[in-house]
Amino acid sequence: MSHGMAQAPVGSMKPTQSSPSGCTAAKPSEKVDAYSCNESSGELSLVLDLEDPGDGSALQRPPSLAITMPSSVPCNEPTTFEASASDGDGDLADVQWYVDGVLMAPGVERMTFTETHEIEAVAWDERGAATTDRRSVSCY
C-alpha cells in the first residue's frame, strides 16, 4: 500500500512590493531608494555604526614620521638618511626615501651630497596609510 503525495496548501507566495498610493516609484529596473509622493518625498538613509572595541583597533591611525638628519651635512662624504617613524597601531611597514622626487632603491639609505637636495621620507603602515616629511638638505 502506498501513500499519495501530500499536497501542501497553496497560498500566495508572490512577493509584493507596496508603495503608498499616489506615489510614483522608480522604474522596476532601477534601484528603488526613494518615492516621490505628490508633494512629499521619502528616502532611505544608511547609517554606518562604527563601534570601537575600546582599544582603538577599529580605527586606522597613520604613521608618525619626522626626518631627523640635519639640514646641512658635509659635502663629499656619505651621509645616512635618518628619520624617526612609529605607528600608534604598531603596524609600521616601511619607510621610503626620495631625493629630488626620485625614489631611492630599497635599502639604500646613504648618499654623498655635493649640492642641496630635497629629501622626502614616506612612512607606510600595513593598512596603506602614509605620512610624509620633507627637508631641504644642503652641504658644506
Minimum gap (Å) between residue 128 Cβ and Ca ion: 9
Q: Which three cell numbers stand for residue 52?
A: 570601537
Q: For residues 34 and 51, give the distance between their C-alpha atoms in angstroms, rounded to a whole number.
A: 28
Q: Could you tell me the three cell numbers for 20?
A: 503608498
Q: CB-wise, 91 or 109, nearer to Ca ion?
A: 91
Q: Which of 79, 83, 85, 125 binds Ca ion (CB under 5 A)?
A: 125
For 32, other C-beta atoms within 10 Å of its C-beta total 12
For residue 39, the 8-state DSSP code is: T
Interface with Ca ion: number of residues (CB under 5 A) = 5
Residue 126: φ, ψ to 5° = -65, -20
Give min distance, CB of 71 to Ca ion, in A. Answer: 28
- Tell me the one-letter amino acid at 90: G
Find the shortest distance in angstroms from Cβ 25 to Ca ion: 45
Query: How many C-beta atoms lie closer than 10 Å to residue 121's C-beta?
Result: 25
Tell me the CA end-to-end span of the chain in Å, nearest whole number. Answer: 107
Closer residue to Ca ion, CB minimum distance, 56 or 78:
56
**Minimum distance, C-beta of residue 63 to Ca ion, in the bound complex (Å):** 6
85 vs 137, beta carbon nearer Ca ion: 85
Query: 53 to 112, contacts with Ca ion by CB under 5 A?
Result: 61, 87, 89, 91
Per CB under 5 A, residues contacting Ca ion are: 61, 87, 89, 91, 125
